[in-house]
Structures are given as structure tokens and as C-alpha cells.
Structure 1
Amino acid sequence: MNVWEARWLRAFHVLYYACLVLGLILSFGENAAPDVLTLGIVALMAGWHGLFVVRRPQLLGRLNPMAVHLAVLCALYAALVMRNRSFDVVIFGLMPQPYVMLTSPWSYAGAVATVLGTFAARGYLDEPGAVWRLIGSSGLVVAIGLFVDHVSRQSAQNKMVGVLEERARLAREIHDTLAQGLSGITTQLEAAEQAMPDLPAVRKRIALAKQLARDNLQEARRSVDALRPGPLADARLEAALAEVAARWSQTSGVPATVSVEGTPRPLPGEVGTTLLRAAQEGLSNAAKHARAGRVAITLTYMDDEVALDVFDDGTGFDPAVRSAGYGLAAMRERAGSVGGTLTVESAPGEGTALCLRIPSS
């Protein structure tokens, strides 16, 4: 049971006892105070609900014993109202109880039974048109229950959707930070192994691997803190792109340039994150798959959108062939989350062009 469910349950219990107290107050306002038997029924209703419903939340929803407890409370309520009509008000606290104590469809049957007991206790069954009033009242409480059930299901579905979206977002963050960083470290260590016994070259590769490890540890900490990319924390997007490209060029040995077209302007945080992650993914793919000789990144500010193009002159690939990697799928998810689109143009031997467009208005 989550926090909100516990609060609603507590509210229904409070409502039940508040109605009992209000009934007592109203009964003392009559010409004669309630007798001992009436007070005893009130005490029994309060104690029964407390002992068998409030103190046993783990049994809520079970037909046995909750149906028995509901029947006892309804019978006690009928006896109470027949002795003193001031306790009619208790029905407002009793009516939600079938939905608290039972699951559908038994909760609807319990609500209708509660209405029927109320009519019998008040003597309404002998009045003209009682059947139609009973049908109308029963229909109303069932409709309310159906509405509450619908809202609860929608809330559960929305919660599940939110959980799945959060999982996908975290998967993208892990791929764009830790996975790419570990891949770069592995590449440098493999290069160091191949450089043996050239100690200066080995030291250089190990130093780069250590620097990558430090950078990615810092990035992981920042992602945990705010799930925002580290370079954007203290810099504009174009500066962050230049920093990422320079770092990538140092570790890969492939020149990468960054150019900006149009007039730079502030972008929403998630838009900037998406553009930066796309650039990181494009660079990562160029290093792992393309065997590129150069990479060019272009950030373009237009009137109603901002675009990021990443071009490499590597081996290229066939976009129609489904890749086993997660990178492009994660980029498309990111783009879609901010209303953007991702297109990839490539062919074997002709390099790769990646274009991300995001509306900015």
C-alpha cells in the first residue's frame, strides 16, 4: 500500500468515526438523551470497526471475513437508526466502507446491501414508490463506485507508464554516460596493450584512460545528482559541444570540429541535454564503427527550431539493416520526448550524417 492509498484509507476511517460522533451530538440535542442500549450500539459499532477493520488492513479486500464484518456493521446501523433517527447521519460514514473492505464485484453488492438495510431501518420500504427510490439510490452508489474504480485503474496505469518512462530515461542516461565512458577506457587500454613495449606510448594511453575514468566518474555523479549532462552545468550548449568534441578528439586521435550557425539563444534544459547527448552518440559511433578520418558537428539556430548535424567520413552503413546497438534507439526516444525528429543518412563507404531537429517555439 502506497502513501496516498494509506492516506485515503485513514480518511475513510476518520469519516466513519466522525459520523458516529456527529450522530451522538445530534441525539443529545433531542428532547430526551439516548438510552443506555443506544449508547451501547454506538460503542459496539465503533469497537467492531476499530478491531476488525482499522487494525487489520492486511485483510481488506478479502471476502471472508470482511463481508461478515460489513454485515455486522450494517445490522448494528439498522438497529441504531430504528432506536434513534438522529443517527441517520452515520450512513455517510458507512457507505464508503463496502469499497474499502471488499473488492469488486463484491464491493458493489455490499454497497447495494447497505442501501437496502438503510431503507429497511428507516421504514422506506413501506412507502409508495419505494422500489424506484431503492433502484435509484443503489444505482447512484454503484455509479460512484464504478467511477472511483475507474479513477484508481487510471491512476495505476499512469503510475506504470511513468515507471516505464523513467526506466527508459535511466537506460538512456546510463548508455550516454557510463557505457560510452567505459567503451572509451577499454579502447585506450587495448591501444596501450598493442603499444607494448613502447613505454612512452603505453603511458600516454594509460594517462588518457585515467582521464576518461575521472571524467566519467564525475559525469556519473552529476547524473545521479541531477540527471543532466555535466558539460551543460556551467556552460552554454555550443561551449559544451566544443568541450565534448575536444575531449573525444584527444582520446580517439580523430579531429572533430564544431561550428554554430544562426544566433545562439537559451534553450530549455531537456532540449540542450538531448542535443548534447546526440552529439556524444554520434562521436561514439564514429569512433567505434565508422573508422572515420574526421567528424564535423554543426549546431544551427533557426527561427522555429534548432538542429544538430553530425557528419563523419567513415565506412558508413545501411540504415535499413537493424542494428543490435541501443544508441540510435535511445536517441530517437530522446528526440521524441521533446517533440523532435532524428534522421540518419548513410551508405556503405560514404560516411554517415546524423540530423536531429527540435522545435524551439
Structure 2
Amino acid sequence: MNVWEARWLRAFHLLYYACLALGLVLSSGEGTGESGVPGPLTLGIVALMAGWHGFFVARRSRLLGRLNPMAFHLAVVCALYIALVSLDRSFDVVVFGLMPQPYLMLPSPWSYVGAVATVLSTFAARGYLDDPGAVWRLAGSSGLVVAIGLFVDYVSRQSAQNRTVGVLEERARLAREIHDTLAQGLSGIITQLEAAEQAMPDLGAVQKRIALAKELARDNLREARRSVDALRPGPLSGAGPEAALAEVAARWSRTSGVAATVSVEGTPRPLPGEVQTTLLRAAQEGLSNAARHARAGRVAITLTYMDDEVTLDVFDDGAGFDPDAPGAGYGLAAMRERAGGVGGTLTVESAPGEGTALCLRIPSN
């Protein structure tokens, strides 16, 4: 049971007790003593209804939704309600606290049966069953209560589905974050360690590669901590996308040994945080692919501000690949999901031996 469900459950329990208290306030003392206050029998039934609900329903929330014993507890409360209203019609108000109880206590579809039984108990308490038109009134009241229950059940199902969708979206987001931080960082570290292994016994080259691997590990650790804390990517902290792209490209050039340039076209303007993150992640994905797969000699990143959109182009002169081939990689699929999340599109143009051009377009309005 989540926090909101627990709060609603508590609210309905409080409503039940509030209605009992209101009935005591409104009581005219019919069938009681001359003082005009409820008599011992009325007070006893009120106390029994309150105690029964508190002990067998409110304190046993783990049993809610089970037909047995909740059907028995509902029947007892309804019987006590009939007896109470028969003594004093002021306690008619208790029906407002009683009506939600079947939907709390019983599983579907028995909750609808319990709701109809509750309506029947109110008719019995008020003496309406002897009325020639009672059948139609009972049918109308029962239909209304069942319709309300169906609506509440529909809203509950939609809420559960939304929670499920939210969980799946959060898992996808975490998968993208892991790919964009941990996976890319570890891949870079492995590349540097492999280069160090190949450079042996040149001690200077080995030390340089190990130093780069340590730098990548530190950067990756900081980025992972920021992701855990749900903060923006490290390069974007206190910087715009232009400076962040330049920082990422410079770091990548230093570790890969491949020249990467960044150029900005158009007039820069403030962008939403999620858009900046998407642009940065796309650049990181393009650089990562260029280092791991393309064997590129040059990479060019272009950020373009236009009137109705902002675009990011990442071009490398590497080996290229077939973007329509099965298993093209999780990174591109994740980037398409991330781009779609901000209303953008990601296109990849590549062919074996012809390099790769990655283009991200995000509307600015």
C-alpha cells in the first residue's frame, strides 16, 4: 500500500467516525430518556459500531479486500446501523460514512454486492421496504452506488497503470543514464588500459595511458554520483551547452588521440535543462561510437540555433556502418528515446567506408 492509498483509507475511516459523531450531535433523543440526549441503548449501539469498525476493520488493514472475514464485519455494521436508525432517525447521516466501506472491505465484484446490501440496509432502517415504489427507488439508489463504484474502480485502475508506465519510463531513463555514463566511461577506461598494454615496455607511454584511464575513472565516478543524485550532467553544471560540448570534446580528444572540433552557428539562447542534457548526451554518444567503432581520424560537432529549432550534428570520417542493420546498438535506440522525450528526432546517415553523420533536431517552441 502506497502513501496515497494509506491516506485515502485513513480519510474514509475518519469519515465513518465523523458521521457517527454528527449523528450524536443531531440526535433528538427519540426513544430515549426525557433529557433529550440519546439513551443508553442508542449510545451502546453507537459505541459498538465505533468499536467494531475500529477493532475489526481499521486496525486490520492487511485483511481489507478479503471476502472472509470482511463480508461478516460489513454485515454486522449494517445490522447495527439498521438498529441505530430504527431508534433515532438523526443517525441517518451515518450512511455517508457507511457507503464507501464495501469498496474498502470487499474484493471486486463482491464490493458491488456489498454496496447494494448497504443500500438495502438503509431502506430497511428507514422503513421504506413497505412502500409500493420501494423497488424502483431501491433499484435507482443501487444503480447510482454501483456506478460510483465502477467509476472509482476505473480511476484506481488508471492510476495503477500510470504508476506502472511511470516505473517503466524511469527504468528506461536509468538505462539511458547508465549507458551514457557508466558504460561509456568504462569503455573508455578499457580502451586506455588496452593501449597501455600494447605500449609496453615503453614506460612513458604506459604511464600516460594509465593516467588517462585514471582521469576517465574519476570523471565517470563523479558523473555516476550526479546521476544518482538526479542532478544535471557534470559538464552542464554552471555552463551552457556550448561550453559543455567544448569540454566534452576536448576531454575526448585528449583520451582518444583523435581531433574533435566544436562549432556554434546562429545566435545562442537559453535552452531548457532537459534539452541541454539531450544535446550533450547525443554528442557523447557520437564521440563514443567514433572511438569504439569508427576508427575515425577527425570528428566535427556543430550546434546550430535556428528560429524554430536547435540542431546538433556529429560527423566522423571513420569506417561507417549500416544503421538499418539488426543490433545496431543500444546507444542509438536510447538516444532516439531521449530525443522523443523532448519532442525531437534523431537521424543517422552512414554507410560502410563513408563515415557517420548523426543529426539531432529539437523544436524550440
Shorter-chain TM band: over 0.9
- Write the deviation string for residues 58-96 of structure 1: whole angstroms up to 9, x where unpaired: 110110000000001001100111111111111111111
Q: Which residue in 2 is equivalent to 1:91?
A: 95
CA offset at residue 201 of structure 1? 0.5
Is residue 324 of structure 2 the alignment partner of residue 320 of structure 1? Answer: yes
| Other-structure match for 2:253 | 249
Task: Render the CA deviation track for 1:173-222: whole Å, top value 9, x for unaligned.
Answer: 11101111111011000100111100000011011111111111121222
Superposition deviation, residue 28 in structure 1: 4.6
1:94 and 1:341 mapped to 2: Cα distance?
Answer: 54
d(CA) in 2 for partners of 1:267, 1:310: 19
Q: Which residue of 1 aligns with 2:296?
A: 292
> Secondary structure in 1 aligned to 2:162?
helix
Cα offset, 1:34, TM superposition: 2.1
Q: 2:104 aligns with which of 100, 106, 112?
A: 100
Question: How far 1:226 moved relative to its partner?
Answer: 2.9
**Preserved CA contact (<8 Å) 1:281 1:327:** yes
Query: Is this contact kept in 1: 2:116–2:142, CA < 8 A?
Result: yes
**For residues 12-49 of structure 1, what are the alpha-carbon distances to aligned partners after superposition, in whole Å with 9 as ceiling and x for unaligned?**
11111111111111115667332211211111111111
Quick check: 1:16–1:93 contact (8 Å CA) kept in 2? yes
What residue in structure 1 maps to residue 64 of structure 2? 60
Residue equivalent to 2:353: 349
CA deviations over 1:295-343 (Å, ceiling 9, x no partner): 0111110000000000001110111102252100110000000000000
Tell me what 2:132 maps to.
128
Tell me, yes or no, if the aligned pair for 1:223 and 1:230 is still in contact at 8 Å. no
2:200: which partner in 1?
Answer: 196
User: Would you say 1:232 and 2:265 are equivalent positions?
Assistant: no
**Residue 10 (structure 1) aligns with:** 10
Which residue of the partner structure matches residue 27 of structure 2? 27
Count of residue correspondences: 361
Q: Distance in 2 between matches of 1:80 and 1:7?
A: 29
Whether 2:264 is the aligned partner of 1:260: answer yes
Measure how far apart 1:225 and its partner are: 2.2
Question: Displaced runs of 4+ in structure 1, greater than 3 A?
Answer: 28-32
User: Which residue number in structure 2 is paired with residue 49 of structure 1?
Assistant: 53
SS in structure 2 of the partner of residue 348 of structure 1: coil
Instruction: Give the Cα–Cα distance (whole angstroms) in 2 for the partners of residues 258 and 242 of structure 1.
Output: 6
Q: CA contact under 8 A between 1:173 and 1:227: conserved in structure 2?
A: no
Q: Secondary structure at the match of 1:277?
A: helix
Secondary structure of 1:356's match? strand
Q: What's the CA shift for 1:55?
A: 1.0
Q: Which runs of 5+ in 2 are unaligned?
A: none
Do the aligned partners of 1:208 and 1:251 also contact (CA within 8 Å) in 2?
Answer: yes
Deviation at 1:224, TM superposition (A): 2.0
Q: 1:337 aligns with which of 338, 341, 348?
A: 341
In the TM superposition, what is the alpha-carbon distance from 1:284 to its structure 2 partner?
Answer: 0.2
Structure 1 CA distance, aligned partners of 2:321 and 2:298?
17
Offset of residue 234 of structure 1? 1.6
For residues 26 and 187 of structure 2, the distance between their equivalents in structure 1, rounded to whole angstroms, comes to: 75
* Structure 1 residue 130, shift from structure 2 partner: 1.2
Q: Percent identity between the aligned chains?
A: 86
Counterpart code for 1:61 = G
SS at match of 2:227: helix
Q: 1:286 deviation in Å?
A: 0.3
User: Is 1:36 the equivalent of 2:36?
Assistant: no
User: What root-mean-square deviation, in Å, do the aligned CA atoms of Structure 1 and Structure 2 show?
Assistant: 1.1
CA contact (8 A) 2:28 2:88 kept: no
Aligned 8 A contact 2:264 2:302 in 1: yes
Which letter maps to 2:116?
V
SS in 1 for 2:27: helix
Deviations 1:215-245 (A, max 9, x none): 1112122222234211011211111101100
Gaps of 5+ in 1: none
Is the CA contact (8 Å cut-off) linking 2:29 and 2:39 kept in structure 1?
no
1:161 alignment partner AA = V
Please state whether the residue corresponding to 1:226 is helix, strand or coil. coil
Match of 2:119 in 1: 115
2:348 touches 2:359 (CA, 8 Å); kept in 1? yes
Change (3 A) 1:213 1:344: same
Amino acid in the other structure paired with 1:261: E
TM-score, normalised with respect to structure 1: 0.98
Asked if 1:148 is matched to 2:152, the reply is yes
Cα separation, 2, equivalents of 1:355 and 1:129: 73
Partner secondary structure for residue 360 of structure 2: strand
Q: Distance in 1 between matches of 2:40 and 2:241?
A: 78
Tell me what 1:310 maps to: 314
Determine if the alignment matches structure 1 residue 221 to structure 2 residue 256: no
How far apart, in 2, do the equivalents of 1:324 and 1:73 lie? 64
Distance 1:308 1:321 in 2: 24
In the alignment, is the contact (CA less than 8 A) between 2:259 and 2:298 conserved in 1? yes
What's the secondary structure of 1:339's corresponding residue? coil
